[in-house]
């Protein structure tokens, strides 16, 4: 067969080259494309011949010239300039084009970035401090981290088409619960430092917000202590850094809300905290333990010694170091604390057929519902990395994890013996897992000797160095380390050291701390040992989830645009991914160049003077920006300014971040047209003018409009002593046409995982850097280990100095590939795509909040409220869209029972039309309900989505044909995405909360 096929191909090739005109007839499953004739004309050779053909903007921007022409016609404008003039108020248009470089072709870009990356030096880093090298199983690297079917997914708000990642995140929770010995875990936080800050707040809330002392052991990681202090300031929590074994909890119990311990601690010591935990409990405090999942494979779990909360970084479970991130922080607590838990939680519920189905649980704690009263401001977390860590546990299983932990521990024991043999004292001898703190004459001298071998160690002080071993370490690495400590490096005899270590009687984990309890017993962690099984499991889960590999995800406010392969490739280059966040600066020159260039480009795009790349989500950016505003006021003797005005239409993270920054939230109304109610704004400003700190505005607004009143609103706030924070989630509608600084903002965050092409990863990672005017620059966040930020920097808002640094090459690449013109063209295309869809849907649905010229910005809102009295709600359309192969637009935000559509510039007209056709077909289905032609409660909308199981069942008692349910439009026959469960019952899941993997028996029940 193969030779016949090859023969046919050869004949085809010969025929094609024999003629100068070729016919290309390409049939796609979706449609038949028109026949295209390629004319070969001979042109005179010139220098033009060297012009590269791999230019990028035409790959990033969906519609081509002919498509744009047709779309402009549909919108009713003669050209794009007319559209822009009608959509954007003239007063805010930028006077000058963007001063960015020309766009680079794809191959040139990769060459340039490689030459920058090669300026990083990839040394072996045994620095520890919560970041430890790991062997990322290639089956996970290729099939999860480098796989668009995983990294382009959205947060699983539509559970019926997200069961794969929900299962994987449930595995993550189960793994965390098992390892920590605590029953209840979430599906990741942003990093260990901020997870510790969340724990502190949880303890404070438990103490009803009036016990203001939180004790932190002095041997917690320094960046964790710094993050805690930053967060504590706004709540006036008194962080006491102390030696917990010498702190008098009983005497200080009156104000004690809790204590943070590190296990093993930052110097590697494994302490027995059981008695201490009892003392803290007796004093009325809670115990939070920052810990290490790998160490817990050998150590008694925090839950077993009585801890209330356990948290940490799951990075060493199969996620690259990445110069600090992205990695998934984990967080677990006792049952009675679950409603105070920050972040996303996955729970088990059931679908309409009574089958088990997973979903996001207890959402009523979260910012998008509870706003300033939420348990945290977390929206984007670290889902993709949590999935990687969960897969690592699935791949290795309990015996594999134990073997890895024992190997690391065993090698550390050998190293300890050799160091002892060389005459050094080990501070934590006999009580370590993977980290040794060694007393030396000069830390600098030892560090230098190690550097000569391309090894990084940590200097704890002038006379103590620490070494943290990891899974990548082998025999030669141990020999190299022994040579660093040997008086005479040629005398190192590993065999002898091993023999001495074996002869040593002392155990390196105190007996009472050795783990005896089992973990990872669920079948999911015991069934996928061969790579074949693992590959199939990953693929099995992936095939349940709809992502950008299937169809457009038109989520308003989320900008689900292309995450191009060329942008993604550098993320896993070793020069970016294998760097410790605290590596010496001469090893991170490449990062420095890339980060500085990115900062400069972001400053140009926003019109601001300075930027910070530290915040690792949009919400963290909001927090950082508001804290910088607070510090600015305080520096001018106006520290009492603490009122933050927030329009009613704002995203939930805005009020939640303002509350976290210690501000009082005052809501500003919007008028009936969706515009900021300037009258109400003036009244609220007048009422609060002595205390006015800031206003947070999203632009274009979350109603999808460029509000003409924005400049006036900024003016009013400035005149009354406030600052303007711009939520930059909608920056995709501004680039090249207007700038936050020109509009009047003082600071804004950018969601790099929206506008700047970092993929959403099924709920993270993200990056939310901030840019600001020069007067706020001194307050940009600092860091205790790597100097960052302004002269009067606020404390760190992330554990790592540059947040999730290893995904920043994505945004750097996007800007460089698109260049000045491409970036602006992308914005124009985003506006055109949105207005085209608006125009196509307008006759079928009411579109809310267009401007005076009838235009929307980069997104628009479809009003479903007129159908509600007839029984059809936004959720019914969202679920029915799944039958048509689409992810729903944003549902009921910012207005209940609406759908907010944002197509982005990356979707072609063909795809926009497919979506519009689906919406129009659904409108007819709605009409059948509205007119009473079909039953109100038993129709194709109410019963959607229709899973394969429902469709294939022998029982079919629905009052419409199967065909209509599954194939409402013809192209679905060739390309159908099947929801794997039918509509998920949210209420049942919250009533019967289960947040770890159910046993197979429970599944069957
Ligand atoms: C308008 C707006 N602001 C802020 C955020 C928060 O960003 P993140 O999810 O990165 O925390 C979002 C996220 O969707 C958003 O849409």
pLDDT, tens digit, 9 for 90 and up, residues 749-795:
999 999 999 999 999 999 999 999 999 999 999 999 999 999 999 99
For ligand 1, whether the C-beta of 380 sits within 6 Å is: yes
Determine contact, residues 925/933, Cβ cutoff 8 Å: no
For ligand 1, whether the C-beta of 646 sits within 6 Å is: no
The string of pLDDT tens digits covering residues 674-698 is 889 999 999 999 999 999 999 999 9
Which atom number of ligand 1 is nearest to the Cα of residue 727? 3
C-alpha to C-alpha distance for 864 and 898, rounded to whole angstroms: 5
Residue 921 token pair:
């077909």
What lies within 8 Å, CB to CB, of 925 at 6+ separation is 880, 939, 940, 941, 968
The string of pLDDT tens digits covering residues 371-382 is 888 888 999 999
How many CB atoms are located within 10 Å of the residue 397 CB? 18
For ligand 1, whether the C-beta of 522 sits within 6 Å is: no
pLDDT of 317 higher than 50: yes
Strands 747-749 and 723-727: parallel
> How far is the centre of ligand 1, averaged over its atoms, from the C-alpha of 653 (Å)?
7
More confident residue, 28 or 466: 466
> How far is the centre of ligand 1, averaged over its atoms, from the C-alpha of 916 (Å)?
26
What lies within 8 Å, CB to CB, of 848 at 6+ separation is 674, 703, 860, 861, 862, 863, 895, 898
Residue 828: name the closest of 969, 747, 732, 745 by CA.
732
Buried b (16+ CB within 10 A) or exposed e, 855-889: bbbbbbbbbbeebeeebbbbbbbbbbbbbbbbbbb
Determine contact, residues 188/385, Cβ cutoff 8 Å: yes
Q: What is the end-to-end Cα distance of the chain in Å, rounded?
A: 49
How many angstroms separate the most distant Cα atoms in the chain?
94
What lies within 8 Å, CB to CB, of 524 at 6+ separation is 171, 174, 394, 997
For ligand 1, whether the C-beta of 698 sits within 6 Å is: yes
> How far is the centre of ligand 1, averaged over its atoms, from the C-alpha of 734 (Å)?
17
For ligand 1, whether the C-beta of 615 sits within 6 Å is: no
In whole angstroms, what separates CA 417 from the centre of its chain? 42
Give the pLDDT confidence score for residue 41 in this predicted structure: 66
For ligand 1, whether the C-beta of 766 sits within 6 Å is: yes
Residue 869 — very low, low, confident or very high, per pLDDT cuts 50/70/90?
Answer: very high
What lies within 8 Å, CB to CB, of 766 at 6+ separation is 380, 616, 617, 618, 751, 752, 753, 758, 760, 804
Task: Report the share of the chain in percent with pLDDT over 70.
Answer: 95
In whole angstroms, what separates CA 286 from the centre of its chain? 29
3-class DSSP state of 348:
strand
Strands 846-848 and 770-772: unpaired
Give the pLDDT confidence score for residue 1 in this predicted structure: 35
pLDDT of 16 higher than 80: no
C-alpha to C-alpha distance for 817 and 721, rounded to whole angstroms: 41
Residue 403 — very low, low, confident or very high, per pLDDT cuts 50/70/90?
Answer: very high
C-alpha to C-alpha distance for 625 and 608, rounded to whole angstroms: 13
What lies within 8 Å, CB to CB, of 799 at 6+ separation is 130, 191, 192, 193, 194, 221, 223, 224, 227, 313, 324, 325
For ligand 1, whether the C-beta of 619 sits within 6 Å is: yes
| 295 CB burial (10 A radius; 0-12, 13-18, 19+) | buried
pLDDT of 826 higher than 90: yes
Q: Whose CA is nearest to atom 5 of ligand 1?
A: 618
The string of pLDDT tens digits covering residues 58-90 is 999 999 999 999 999 999 999 999 999 999 999
> How far is the centre of ligand 1, averaged over its atoms, from the C-alpha of 92 (Å)?
23
Residue 673 — very low, low, confident or very high, per pLDDT cuts 50/70/90?
Answer: confident
CA distances from residue 970 to 615, 911, 966, 973 in whole angstroms, order as listed: 46, 15, 10, 6
Which atom number of ligand 1 is nearest to the Cα of residue 380? 9
For ligand 1, whether the C-beta of 751 sits within 6 Å is: yes
What lies within 8 Å, CB to CB, of 893 at 6+ separation is 368, 556, 557, 651, 702, 900
Give the pLDDT confidence score for residue 370 in this predicted structure: 82
C-alpha to C-alpha distance for 459 and 466, rounded to whole angstroms: 6
> How far is the centre of ligand 1, averaged over its atoms, from the C-alpha of 379 (Å)?
7
Give the pLDDT confidence score for residue 32 in this predicted structure: 52
The string of pLDDT tens digits covering residues 84-109 is 999 999 999 999 999 999 999 999 99
Which atom number of ligand 1 is nearest to the Cα of residue 621? 11
C-alpha to C-alpha distance for 248 and 250, rounded to whole angstroms: 6
> How far is the centre of ligand 1, averaged over its atoms, from the C-alpha of 995 (Å)?
25
Which atom number of ligand 1 is nearest to the Cα of residue 557? 16
pTM: 0.95
């Amino acid at each position: 067969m193969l030779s016949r096929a090859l023969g046919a191909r050869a004949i085809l090739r010969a025929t094609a080259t024999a003629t100068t005109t070729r016919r290309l007839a390409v049939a796609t499953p979706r449609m038949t494309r028109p026949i295209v004739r390629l004319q070969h004309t001979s042109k005179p050779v010139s220098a033009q011949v060297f012009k590269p053909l791999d230019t990028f903007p035409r790959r990033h921007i969906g519609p081509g010239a002919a498509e744009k022409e047709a779309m402009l016609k549909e919108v009713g404008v003669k050209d794009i300039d007319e559209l822009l003039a009608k959509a954007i108020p003239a007063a805010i248009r930028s006077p000058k084009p963007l001063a960015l470089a020309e766009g680079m072709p794809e191959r040139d870009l990769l060459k340039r970035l490689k030459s920058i990356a090669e300026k990083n030096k990839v040394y072996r880093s045994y620095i520890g401090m919560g970041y430890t090298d790991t062997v990322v199983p290639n089956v996970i690297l290729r099939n999860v981290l480098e796989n668009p079917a995983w990294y382009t997914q959205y947060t699983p708000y539509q559970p019926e088409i997200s069961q794969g990642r929900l299962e994987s995140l449930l595995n993550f929770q189960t793994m965390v619960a098992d390892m920590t010995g605590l029953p209840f875990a979430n599906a990741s936080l942003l990093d260990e430092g901020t997870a510790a800050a969340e724990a502190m707040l949880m303890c404070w809330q438990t103490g009803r917000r009036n016990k203001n002392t939180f004790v932190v052991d002095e041997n917690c990681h320094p960046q964790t202590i710094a993050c805690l202090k930053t967060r504590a300031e706004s709540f006036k929590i008194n962080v006491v850094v102390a030696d917990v074994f010498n702190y008098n909890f009983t005497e200080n119990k009156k104000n004690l809300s809790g204590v943070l311990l590190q296990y093993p601690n930052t110097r590697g010591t494994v302490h027995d905290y059981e008695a201490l935990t009892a003392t803290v409990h007796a004093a009325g405090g809670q115990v939070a333990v920052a810990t290490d999942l790998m160490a817990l494979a050998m150590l008694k779990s925090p839950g077993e010694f009585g801890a209330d909360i356990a948290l940490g970084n799951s990075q060493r479970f199969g996620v690259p170091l990445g110069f600090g991130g992205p990695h998934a922080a984990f967080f677990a607590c006792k049952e009675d604390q679950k409603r105070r838990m920050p972040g996303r939680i996955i729970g088990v519920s059931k679908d309409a057929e009574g089958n088990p189905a997973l979903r996001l649980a207890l959402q009523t704690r979260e910012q998008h519902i509870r706003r300033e009263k939420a348990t945290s401001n977390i929206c984007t977390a670290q889902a993709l990395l949590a999935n990687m860590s969960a897969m690592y546990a699935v791949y290795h299983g309990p015996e594999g994890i134990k073997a890895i932990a024992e190997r690391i521990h065993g090698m550390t024991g050998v190293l300890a013996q050799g160091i002892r043999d060389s005459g050094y004292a080990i501070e934590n001898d006999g009580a370590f897992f993977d980290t040794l703190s060694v007393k030396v004459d000069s830390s600098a001298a030892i560090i230098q000797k190690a550097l000569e071998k391309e090894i990084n160690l940590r200097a704890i002080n002038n006379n103590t160095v620490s070494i943290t071993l990891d899974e990548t370490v082998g025999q030669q690495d141990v020999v190299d380390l022994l040579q660093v400590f040997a008086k005479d490096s040629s005398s190192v005899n590993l065999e002898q050291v091993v023999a001495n270590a074996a002869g040593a009687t002392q155990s390196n984990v105190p007996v009472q701390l050795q783990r005896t309890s089992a973990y990872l017993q669920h079948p999911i962690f015991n069934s996928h040992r061969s790579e074949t099984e693992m590959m199939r499991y990953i693929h099995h889960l992936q095939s349940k989830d709809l992502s950008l590999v299937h169809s457009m995800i038109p989520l308003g406010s989320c900008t689900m645009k292309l995450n191009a392969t060329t942008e993604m490739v550098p993320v896993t280059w070793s020069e970016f991914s294998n760097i410790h966040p605290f590596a010496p600066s001469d090893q991170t020159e490449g990062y420095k160049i890339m980060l500085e260039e990115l900062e400069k480009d972001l400053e140009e795009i926003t019109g601001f003077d300075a930027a910070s790349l530290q915040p690792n989500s949009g919400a963290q950016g909001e927090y950082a920006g508001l804290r910088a505003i607070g510090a600015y006021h305080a520096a001018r003797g106006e520290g009492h300014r603490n009122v933050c005005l927030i329009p009613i239409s704002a995203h939930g993270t805005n009020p939640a971040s303002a509350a976290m920054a210690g501000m009082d939230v005052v809501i500003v109304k919007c008028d009936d047209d969706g515009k900021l109610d300037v009258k109400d704004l003036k009244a609220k400003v007048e009422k609060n003018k002595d205390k006015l700190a800031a206003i947070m505005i999203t632009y274009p607004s979350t109603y999808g409009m460029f509000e003409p009143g924005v400049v006036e609103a900024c003016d009013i706030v400035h005149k009354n002593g406030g600052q303007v924070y711009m939520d930059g989630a909608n920056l995709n509608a501004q680039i090249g046409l207007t700038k936050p600084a020109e509009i009047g903002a003082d600071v804004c965050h950018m969601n790099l995982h929206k506008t700047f092409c970092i993929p959403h990863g099924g709920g993270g990672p993200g990056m939310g850097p901030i840019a600001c005017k020069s007067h706020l620059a001194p307050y940009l966040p600092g860091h205790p280990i790597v100097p960052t930020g302004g002269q009067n920097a606020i404390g760190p808002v992330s554990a790592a100095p540059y947040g999730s640094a290893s995904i920043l090459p994505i945004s750097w690449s996007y800007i460089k590939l698109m260049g000045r013109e491409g970036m602006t063209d992308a914005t124009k295309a985003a506006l055109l795509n949105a207005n085209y869809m608006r125009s196509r849907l307008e006759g079928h649905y009411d579109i809310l909040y267009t401007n005076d010229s009838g235009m929307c910005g980069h997104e628009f809102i479809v009003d479903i409220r007129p159908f509600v009295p007839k029984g059809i709600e936004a959720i019914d359309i969202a679920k029915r869209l799944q039958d048509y192969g689409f992810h729903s637009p944003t549902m009921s935000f910012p207005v209940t029972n609406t759908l907010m559509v944002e197509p982005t510039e990356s979707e072609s007209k063909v795809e926009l039309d497919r979506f519009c056709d689906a919406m129009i077909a659904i409108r007819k289905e709605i009409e059948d309900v509205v007119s009473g032609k079909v039953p109100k409660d038993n129709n194709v909308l109410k019963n959607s989505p229709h899973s394969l199981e429902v469709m294939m069942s022998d029982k079919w008692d629905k009052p419409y044909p199967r065909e209509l349910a599954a194939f409402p439009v013809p192209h679905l026959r060739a390309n159908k995405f099947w929801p794997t469960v039918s509509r998920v019952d949210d209420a049942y899941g919250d009533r019967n909360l289960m947040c770890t993997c159910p046993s197979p028996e429970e599944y069957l029940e």
